[in-house]
Structure 1
């Protein structure tokens, strides 16, 4: 005779196997019932037949028609079965679960994805995401800008510029009697507003640089770039026209990989000399760079 513990283990294992054999993946839809049986239709019934069966049972078991508690419970099951079978997607999933009861995890995942998955309009999600990212971006830019301004205001160069501006506003005379520090601070703030502080890497925030605004203007940007490239190709590739000064300057700057702000600080004479070397041509650029390297060695 087998020990009692072995018998209990065998009973539990048998119950587990039996629970798997009764298709547990379909139980998540209509519990232990069959959705088709609840509505009294076959699995081949069309949408019209399912709808008629549901309305017929509703007249019999709806709480407004039948106050019996058992009838109320049955109506809840009927309504749930109808919700599953009236939708083509969920009905297809239920039919698949019936035909493939062994794919328990797959059928369960499909069910929860259909019923509890994110059903928000993707466009609303995209707009919300862009708004949140743009808000964080704007706040981050303001924080960086204010921190940079605070650091600049502590430098001697800034204080010298502030004193020079104060002398200019006062006609060259400054009142040395400082009776009120708060007044001096207010005066300093007023003068600092007149100073145009351009801090590289921490520019003043602009709504045109936000991700959301750039995304909205993306079609316009793409169209503008396409038109620009089209005109460039027609003018210089097809018609073989000579480069204009602006375009030659752009090619020179791009060839030398000079940032726009640094290029703006170069004097006009140097720009003309660089443009005249036609550095957008590979051979000219290589010769120029080799010459610059030799010049750098000589200075050392």
Structure 2
């Protein structure tokens, strides 16, 4: 907010000078030239600037004076010296200042450079962008693995999948009891080892799709940005191929195209579509839901079924009674 305020004030001041002559006042050091403030020539060496600054700063430091009036005057002089030093010690800033001295008629350009340096970001924007993308990529990768581990834990707790995993583990000899190896282990340790075996079997044998699928390096934001031109190229090529095959040549859709059109009619991402059970997918194909009219009819039926199911729910009935009594825009502390 402070920077925005400075920018706005700067713009207002610039507008007031729109038709003015080049100013006599130095926008950097006020009523004096920065070189004159330090008592230097324009060709002064960089080490001389630092040397003179230390000398003048020690001389005009407000703590060296006794009365308040002297301190105030010294503080103004000290700030002017510090401003001159900050302007001339940096090569880029000094170059811009010298350009202003040589081209006072280019008022707008000089003002722009001055305020850009004062209110502009001090850190390279490219570095900030790179760090931000790296942090997002790291967080994305971490949460993807967390979701995947939660999915494995869930499937390991479902009796259907747990029993399948146990049968596979027994068939592969992964759950054999070894009394010698288990000697000295507690029951909790043995149980934990069995749990790890079951989870590993589920991870290796079960294809988890959608938002909880096993993360890959292609899911990281950095990789996706690097591959973005290739992704765009593939999409354009795919779209042109679609137009040629199905709009111009009038070819018949295959199963892949049918599923794509169904997903588009549903308005969901590929990840969510992959989480739908295979039986439901086959039912959608049988009903030819890639046709928009068929899908609309199918959706109306599903919505009606869901509404009927909710109307039979005790919790939903309680919610409806509450809304009828209190309305959706009222608050009450009456528990009766």
Pairing 1:266–2:273 present = no
CA distance in 1: counterparts of 2:299 and 2:242, whole angstroms = 27
Q: Do the aligned partners of residues 227 and 214 (structure 1) sit closer, same or farther apart at CA in structure 2, a change above 3 Å counting? A: same
Q: Do the aligned partners of residues 255 and 130 (structure 1) sit closer, same or farther apart at CA in structure 2, a change above 3 Å counting? A: same
For the 8 Å contact 1:142–1:205, the answer to whether it is kept is: yes
- Cross-structure match for 1:30: 29
TM-score, with structure 1 as normaliser: 0.57
What's the C-alpha RMSD, in Å, of the aligned pairs? 5.4
Q: Do the aligned partners of residues 234 and 88 (structure 1) sit closer, same or farther apart at CA in structure 2, a change above 3 Å counting? A: farther
For the 8 Å contact 1:54–1:78, the answer to whether it is kept is: no
CA distance in 2: counterparts of 1:80 and 1:119, whole angstroms = 15
Aligned counterparts, 1:37-76, within 5 A:
54-55=42-43, 57=44, 62=48
Aligned counterparts, 1:31-180, within 5 A:
33-35=32-34, 54-55=42-43, 57=44, 62=48, 77=84, 80=87, 84=93, 86-87=95-96, 91=100, 111=114, 113-115=116-118, 117-157=120-160, 159-170=162-173, 180=185
For the 8 Å contact 1:54–1:79, the answer to whether it is kept is: no
CA distance in 2: counterparts of 1:35 and 1:232, whole angstroms = 68
Q: Do the aligned partners of residues 80 and 88 (structure 1) sit closer, same or farther apart at CA in structure 2, a change above 3 Å counting? A: closer
Q: Do the aligned partners of residues 167 and 89 (structure 1) sit closer, same or farther apart at CA in structure 2, a change above 3 Å counting? A: farther
- Cross-structure match for 1:239: 249
The CA deviation string for residues 123-165 of structure 1, in whole angstroms up to 9 with x for no partner, is 3332221111101111222233334444544454454344433
Q: Do the aligned partners of residues 31 and 81 (structure 1) sit closer, same or farther apart at CA in structure 2, a change above 3 Å counting? A: farther
Give, in angstroms, the shift of residue 215 of structure 1: 1.3
Q: Which runs of 5+ in 2 are unaligned?
A: 1-24, 60-80, 313-336
Q: Do the aligned partners of residues 125 and 293 (structure 1) sit closer, same or farther apart at CA in structure 2, a change above 3 Å counting? A: closer
CA distance in 2: counterparts of 1:268 and 1:217, whole angstroms = 31
Q: Do the aligned partners of residues 112 and 289 (structure 1) sit closer, same or farther apart at CA in structure 2, a change above 3 Å counting? A: closer
- Cross-structure match for 2:196: 189
Q: Specify the structure having the higher radius of gyration (Cα).
A: 1
For the 8 Å contact 1:148–1:199, the answer to whether it is kept is: no
CA distance in 2: counterparts of 1:146 and 1:95, whole angstroms = 66
Q: Do the aligned partners of residues 132 and 172 (structure 1) sit closer, same or farther apart at CA in structure 2, a change above 3 Å counting? A: closer
TM-score, with structure 2 as normaliser: 0.52
Q: Do the aligned partners of residues 172 and 208 (structure 1) sit closer, same or farther apart at CA in structure 2, a change above 3 Å counting? A: closer
Give, in angstroms, the shift of residue 35 of structure 1: 3.6
